[in-house]
Structure 1
Amino acid sequence: MLHMRRYRYYVLFTAAVVLLLYQFSKGSEQWHPSASILSNPEHDRDRGSSGITSSHGTNELPQQVNGKTGNDQNKVSIPDLKNPTYGSDNTDHVNVNRPPVSNSDTQGKEKQVFEYDKDGAKKETPAQLVDKPGKNVWDGKQPNPGAHTTTTAHWTRPTQNFPIPDDEIIPLPAGKPKKIPALQYPFGKETKEARLKREDRQEKVKLEMERSWAGYMKYAKGHDELSPVSKRFRDPFCGWAATLVDSLDTLWIMDMRDEFEEALVEVEKIDFTTSATRTEIPVFETTIRYLGGLIAAYDVSGAIYDILLQKAVELAEILMGVFDTPNHMPILYYNWKPQFASQPKRAGASVSVAELGSLAMEFTRLAQITKQNKYYDAVARITDAFYEWQERGTSLSGIFPEHVDASGCNRTAQSELDAQMNELGTKDSKNIYTRSEEPALESAASETTEGELHAFEKRGIAGTPDEDTTIPAKFIENGEEIHVGPDPAVVPKWTPSHADRRSSENSEKETRSALDKPLLPDCVPQGLAPSGWSEQYSMGGSQDSTYEYFPKQFLLLGGLEPKYKTLHIKTTEAVKKWLLYRPMLPDEDRDIRFTSKMITKGEPEIDATTEYEVTHLTCFIGGMFGIGGKMFDIPEDVEIGKKLTDGCIWAYESTPSGIMPEGAHLVPCDDMDDCRWNQTMYDQRLDPLWSTRATRLEEYYKARAEKKRKAKEEAERKAAEAKAEAEAEADPGPQDNIEKSFAGNNGIRRRAPPSKIGSSKNSAEDSRSPRLGAGQIPLQEDEDDDGFNDPARPISHEEYVAKKIENEKIPTGYVDVNFKRYILRPEAIESVWYMYRITGDKYWQDKGWKMFSAIISQTRTEIGNSAIDNVLIRDSRKVDEMESFWTAETLKYFYLLYSDPTLISLDEWVLNTEAHPFKRPT
């Protein structure tokens, strides 16, 4: 009996083991190495040195990553993106296969990097969000009734409406990289004293990073940004942990390896196929922060963490949908949910230059890593469009207006064509246009008008007809086919690779298919063009990073694409001709530069107006001039870069807080070589109405004197009347004799009491009475007040200037400070870092330290650093926002300013506009 009981226990135990093995085998199918998109053995590349070492001086990285051991550290698997595995047609989400977990005996930290908490990630539910305009902020307490709810819609790969044939994809430039002059100063051996000073500063920067990172991970992990005052979080992007992804390479560069490995676990949990906070992807911000952050972290860490490349590819595949337009210009706010992403659409008719042109580096570097030309093709077409436009000419030849029509449609020409077609239809006594009954086609948010969404269907109209030909077209009206043109039997075939190209040879089947498929309304094609009748040109917001990318793309492509050199040189020449100015300062010996904003209607020599602005965003330009001047051997541009960078340093030093404002205006010098301080001119610029104030004040005093004269005459008249009346009462006349006849035996008169007017006791009271005593003149205004107490008195020019400076706390030299905030921006310290690395001058390190000390003193909170409301006062209100670029850029640039110059050398790396380093070809 005992033997049988033992046998039953053995059977039960065996069954349990078999069941567990079965469940494990099912759960591990998706992790099979053969299914990973990162396990294509056909594409390998040499890794080379990352240029960054651990704290022990060696590349102490996990020696087994997804099956790669220490013996094959010089190779990396390139993903095969031609046929990635996605969810089946009956699912609503993408299923990008993940790499297998290593089965090695790796212990401790190395093992934690790769054992992602997939089950935990699935269980996580996004916290409730309080809906605020432009922000999503967790209340930290109760779910808010108006909060967003987690969306269930997931991205799936849509069918392309305008695919590019394989033979038309623009490949990466081939060949050996060209020799480019060294950008970085040849630093020598530093003294012990200098090294200790530098390392002490560097360590203090790192401490700020550690505190900000700890605050983010404790209170905002998995969300976009930390709110460092209230200890909450914000999700202004798509809730994909922007700060975490944006800071990955910073963690590695600062040798915060434990934090880096912890962050990798969170990276794996990000689901780019859905968002609980936004219905559209802000393409520019997503590209520079997320895609750039993942790629840079992959590069700086030695290209061994496949999860980083995998996530970069996953995101890039989603973003590739933005280029599916007739002219392949991108949709910049992309609703990537399936029901919208599948609709044909055009790029916007009014988009910013920066958003359009600042995608190049990220997609180019991804193409280099993956060997997939399609990523490069997507951005090369944008570059070609800018290059063609620059060659064709803009109002300020060489640079582009702030807002661009990227739709590819010449609306004026299309209107004329429509009028011609309608006239032809009128002659045939038929209305050839009917409003489409098909659902409105999707368009980028705020990038097309309502009229375009309900445009007439004009099937078969070619974009640009050949000479001496009539455009064949077929239209549907009330179910009846209406033909226009010489060949009514043919409906031209839509060729999706080119919006303006159609085939005239179609079968009946193709004809039916063309009619059934909803197409975008035809248009007369054009390249990039200004948007609107007024054009703004500057190097500031909405324009900046496109120009920054021209020389950096030249570096990233090893000098193999000369278009970027042409674009850069023509840009800098235009800046020097039209925008560069020297401000007038009390310190006449400080020779600095800024760039202005110019507004024109197309004829700048005649109608241009200039705003002599100074904005924090524009401070990147010092580094841009420095890099371009070095690589293209233009010493003048390096010198201009120094002056532009020093201008931003002056802007920091000029305020009580020691921090530069977001935006302000200065007074330009007429002569850049002779710029003396002129107090009269400065005061006049402070007061836009200075020329009229003296006249208005003079007119006021004339009117006041006339008023006084009239008041005096009136007072004298009344006094005379009162005197005559008093004298009449005192003169005994006939009436007085009558009164005496009625007097009593004692001879006393019976009359009214004598008047007290003019008596000393009541003189003050009587002077205010309408009835005045004899000779009494009413009191006048104090003749010495000069009208200062009169609210109607116009203010003088001198008074206006004094009050404006006092009330607005305007620092000397500024005309106004229209944006007083500081939001932890990096652009000024970015150029300071470039200038130090290019020149080797410790002046930049010392100035940078003053900037850092001021920023920390004014922005530090218990758990991080916050934007502040007003740099014109000390200890300004903190606005409870810590953008991801604080840890991604600002602190990184400060850290690198005090690092060994070999760390992220300019001759080995090129940084994108979010300070993400990409490996340069060698």
Structure 2
Amino acid sequence: MSTWKSKQNVGLPLYYKDKPQNNSSQISRVRGLWRALSKTQRLVIKGVVFFVAFYALLSRYVFPSKNSTDIWTARRNRVKDVFLESWSDYTRHGWGKDVYRPVSQQGRNMGRFPLGWIIVDSLDTLMLMNCEEELREARSWVANELNYDFDYNVNTFETTIRMLGGLLSAHYLSEDDVYLEQATKLGNKLIGAFDSGKGIPYASVNLKSGKGIPSHVDRGASSTAEATTVQLEFKYLAQLTGEELYWQKAERVMQSLNEANPQDGLVPIYIQPDTATFQGKIIRLGSRGDSYYEYLLKQYIQSREQVYLEMYLEAVAGIRKHLVRYSTPNHLMFLGELDRGIGSPLSNKMDHLVCFAGGMFALGATEGLDYETASKLSTWTEEKEQQMTMAKELTHTCYRMYHDVPGTGLSPEIVVFKTDVNGKDDFFIKNADKHNLQRPETVESLYYLYKITGDIKYREWGWEIFENWVKYTKVTTGGKDSFPRYTSLKDVTMDPPRMIDNMESFWLSETLKYLYLLFDDETDPKWDLENSVFNTEAHPFPRYSKPPFPTGWRRQGEFEGDGSKQEQEIEEPKEKPVAEQVVEPVVDVPEAKLKASQDNAAVADAIKQKGELPVAKQPVAKPLNEQADSIKEEIVAEAQV
């Protein structure tokens, strides 16, 4: 500190330079005035001073302004605390296990060996929240213990969005090749799922053989959403590795879906992998339909491929035309279901899963820009304004699915909206649908809407929901070494609610991540909506200014908004039976940077010529085992008991 030296005082701080040398007379005058006051006057002045000081403390530490940066930083940090409580309890009692039960504090794997279900899915959350020690331990586990080379059937979709997506986003954020090496190994295992007659991925794939396996239910059909929600991951893997085959496989799926000519852009929820024909007529934005629409938009945002923007806009028009309805008495917008296809009566049932669509509509209108900026561009249209209106209305509805629930103020899995003019409540909940799995879709949309509109109400809604999760899903039983932890609920209408002994990995990878981002104003630019695109498991990937590989197919003609059939220009697929392929699998990524080596050049050329990755001959895969989808079914079944 700069100092000023005087003859009387050596080394006094600079701010003492202008201090009066003699102020005793001023002090005496003040004391005289105070003595002249009556006792009552002195008490009043003391009271006023005390009140002002007390109010200042309350304003600063207890009731800060809702617009204050301090309150949102504190709330962001509270979300981090809850994440670390869940994480610490998991690491102490279930480290490395794929499934964790917080009530009994027990973990188990889905197969003989762990798949990294919780650790890998949480890597980028650890990075976002700057949990450095926890991240070092997780990285060490990924580098030294994670191994996908064993005989086990995994769900193609879940493994892609959680594990492949988690590894790729960790590499994107850290540029650490450990994650990319594991991602490439896993990608090579999963790619065999695409070896169907029309390139639609089979529901499952065996990690050892690389062979795709049709679903053991639904007459072998794949979920339409699952088949079309692997594209962001494989396209990013293609960009990182330079291997075009990953890109081609992902594109072929979308080409086949477009060939199936969904009416007004709305797809039934099942599709046959070998023929690319839809099975059944059920249309909805809930389970098995949801992320098809999400990935149409996000593929366009990721790589600027116009064909996906056309398909997305067609779908939005179809949603508005066929699925949008309003409840009574409060006129809440919801998206119903068509159980027998377009033209059939609309069911008023809506899954909580549908609540992702509010954020999707806002992202589609602005492409991640804030509304004020986007709405002033020459490209802004009335259609985009309508998409923003839909985004706001649906997100408000999804908030009400929490706020209006008696008991916990937490949303059930499914609600049924009322459209009767004499109704008193906007929705009711069936007994089988009262469970809450700590799903992220509503807080996901709150995040998008806040970042795009800047309206603080979305933060307030998110905080209300978060507080109810903390209050009602916290588990406090256990020994002295137990951390508070959080679990799913059986019945959100009860206070206190009954619990389900299960913590989904998306509690850590999505729900708490979106809440943290909702309250955060200091994130790395790699997390910004203008720079990144989030996969359906909330793993961020970078955007490209142009696609690194050609799209490979296109729709002829322009979308007119009437759902008319588009003429197609199709490339004939080059398919060969998996059983005839005996070449060794693709060599894993080197430890330095992921580039094709001279030793692998011949293999790479052979792969490109074949149009698919070679798969070594292996014994017939075992029957389907405990996969992520069956675990979810088990949890829901337990909740219904």
TM-score by length of 2: 0.68
Rate the CA distance shift 1:326–1:816 in 2: closer, same or farther, 3 A.
closer
Q: Is the 8 A contact 2:365 2:388 kept in 1?
A: yes
Determine the structure 1 residue equivalent to 2:95.
Answer: 221
Q: Is the 8 A contact 1:822 1:867 kept in 2?
A: yes
Q: Is the 8 A contact 2:282 2:337 kept in 1?
A: yes
Rate the CA distance shift 1:343–1:898 in 2: closer, same or farther, 3 A.
closer
Q: CA deviation at 1:369?
A: 1.4
1:848 and 2:462 are equivalent in the alignment: yes
Determine the structure 2 residue equivalent to 1:565.
Answer: 309
Distance 1:366 1:841 in 2: 36
Q: In structure 2, which of residues 286, 292, 312 is the aligned counterpart of residue 540 of structure 1?
A: 286
Q: CA deviation at 1:393?
A: 4.0
Distance 1:921 1:888 in 2: 24
Q: In structure 2, which of residues 121, 125, 149 is the aligned counterpart of residue 246 of structure 1?
A: 121
Determine the structure 1 residue equivalent to 2:267.
Answer: 400
1:555 and 2:301 are equivalent in the alignment: yes
Distance 2:308 2:213 in 1: 34
Equivalences for 1:745-760 in 2 at 5 Å? none
Q: Is the 8 A contact 1:667 1:815 kept in 2?
A: no
Determine the structure 2 residue equivalent to 1:836.
Answer: 450
Q: Is the 8 A contact 2:203 2:214 kept in 1?
A: no
Q: Is the 8 A contact 2:203 2:212 kept in 1?
A: no
Computing the radius of gyration from Cα coordinates, the structure with the larger value is 1
Determine the structure 2 residue equivalent to 1:384.
Answer: 255
Equivalences for 1:73-472 in 2 at 5 Å? 194-236=68-110, 239-268=114-143, 269-274=145-150, 279-301=152-174, 303=175, 305-338=176-209, 341=211, 349-389=220-260, 392-394=261-263, 397-408=264-275
Q: Is the 8 A contact 1:224 1:240 kept in 2?
A: yes
What does the per-residue CA deviation read over 1:164-194, in whole Å, with 9 as the maximum and x for residues that have no partner? xxxxxxxxxxxxxxxxxxxxxxxxxx99961
Distance 1:288 1:868 in 2: 25
Rate the CA distance shift 1:343–1:921 in 2: closer, same or farther, 3 A.
closer
Q: CA deviation at 1:404?
A: 1.4
Distance 1:624 1:342 in 2: 31
What does the per-residue CA deviation read over 1:478-522, in whole Å, with 9 as the maximum and x for residues that have no partner? xxxxxxxxxxxxxxxxxxxxxxxxxxxxxxxxxxxxxxxxxxxxx
Rate the CA distance shift 1:256–1:345 in 2: closer, same or farther, 3 A.
closer
Q: CA deviation at 1:334?
A: 1.5
Distance 1:342 1:879 in 2: 33
Which amino acid is the alignment partner of residue 249 of structure 1? D
What does the per-residue CA deviation read over 1:76-131, in whole Å, with 9 as the maximum and x for residues that have no partner? xxxxxxxxxxxxxxxxxxxxxxxxxxxxxxxxxxxxxxxxxxxxxxxxxxxxxxxx
Q: In structure 2, which of residues 344, 353, 358 is the aligned counterpart of residue 617 of structure 1?
A: 353
Distance 1:234 1:832 in 2: 33
Q: CA deviation at 1:274?
A: 1.3
Q: In structure 1, which of residues 880, 887, 893 is the aligned counterpart of residue 508 of structure 2?
A: 887
Q: Is the 8 A contact 2:271 2:278 kept in 1?
A: yes
Distance 1:247 1:913 in 2: 14
Q: CA deviation at 1:285?
A: 0.4
| SS of aligned partner of 1:664 | strand
Distance 1:847 1:815 in 2: 21
Distance 2:279 2:196 in 1: 19
Determine the structure 2 residue equivalent to 1:657.
Answer: 408
Q: In structure 2, which of residues 336, 339, 346 is the aligned counterpart of residue 596 of structure 1?
A: 336
What does the per-residue CA deviation read over 1:541-577, in whole Å, with 9 as the maximum and x for residues that have no partner? 01111111111111110x1x11110111011111101
Q: CA deviation at 1:814?
A: 2.1
Which amino acid is the alignment partner of residue 126 of structure 2? L
Rate the CA distance shift 1:861–1:815 in 2: closer, same or farther, 3 A.
closer
Greater helix proportion: 2
Q: In structure 1, which of residues 556, 574, 578 is the aligned counterpart of residue 322 of structure 2?
A: 578
Distance 2:198 2:211 in 1: 17
What does the per-residue CA deviation read over 1:408-447, in whole Å, with 9 as the maximum and x for residues that have no partner? 2xxxxxxxxxxxxxxxxxxxxxxxxxxxxxxxxxxxxxxx
Q: Is the 8 A contact 2:202 2:212 kept in 1?
A: no
Note the residue ranges of structure 2 that are not aligned, 5 or more in a row: 1-63, 368-378, 477-482, 546-641
Q: Is the 8 A contact 2:402 2:410 kept in 1?
A: yes
Q: CA deviation at 1:322?
A: 1.2
Rate the CA distance shift 1:581–1:261 in 2: closer, same or farther, 3 A.
same
What does the per-residue CA deviation read over 1:176-224, in whole Å, with 9 as the maximum and x for residues that have no partner? xxxxxxxxxxxxxx99961101101001000001111111111111111
Which amino acid is the alignment partner of residue 146 of structure 2? I
Distance 1:873 1:371 in 2: 54
Q: Is the 8 A contact 1:284 1:358 kept in 2?
A: yes
Determine the structure 2 residue equivalent to 1:878.
Answer: 499
Aligned residues: 455
Identity of aligned residues (%): 31
| SS of aligned partner of 1:841 | coil
Q: CA deviation at 1:668?
A: 2.5
Distance 2:432 2:404 in 1: 15
| SS of aligned partner of 2:533 | strand
TM-score by length of 1: 0.48
Which amino acid is the alignment partner of residue 919 of structure 1? P
Between 1 and 2, higher relative CO (CA 8 Å, sep ≥ 6) is seen in 2
Determine the structure 1 residue equivalent to 2:530.
Answer: 907
Equivalences for 1:684-703 in 2 at 5 Å? none
Q: Is the 8 A contact 1:665 1:817 kept in 2?
A: no
Equivalences for 1:65-76 in 2 at 5 Å? none
Distance 1:192 1:814 in 2: 33
Rate the CA distance shift 1:284–1:827 in 2: closer, same or farther, 3 A.
same
| SS of aligned partner of 2:100 | strand
Which amino acid is the alignment partner of residue 581 of structure 1? R
1:531 and 2:279 are equivalent in the alignment: yes
Which amino acid is the alignment partner of residue 225 of structure 1? V
Distance 1:351 1:331 in 2: 6
Distance 2:122 2:245 in 1: 27
What does the per-residue CA deviation read over 1:50-92, in whole Å, with 9 as the maximum and x for residues that have no partner? xxxxxxxxxxxxxxxxxxxxxxxxxxxxxxxxxxxxxxxxxxx
Which amino acid is the alignment partner of residue 287 of structure 2? G
Distance 2:517 2:215 in 1: 43
Which amino acid is the alignment partner of residue 255 of structure 1? N
Q: Is the 8 A contact 1:221 1:241 kept in 2?
A: no
Distance 2:393 2:215 in 1: 45
Equivalences for 1:719-734 in 2 at 5 Å? none
Q: CA deviation at 1:345?
A: 12
Which amino acid is the alignment partner of residue 316 of structure 1? G
Q: Is the 8 A contact 1:202 1:899 kept in 2?
A: yes
Q: Give the aligned CA root-mean-square deviation in angstroms.
A: 2.4
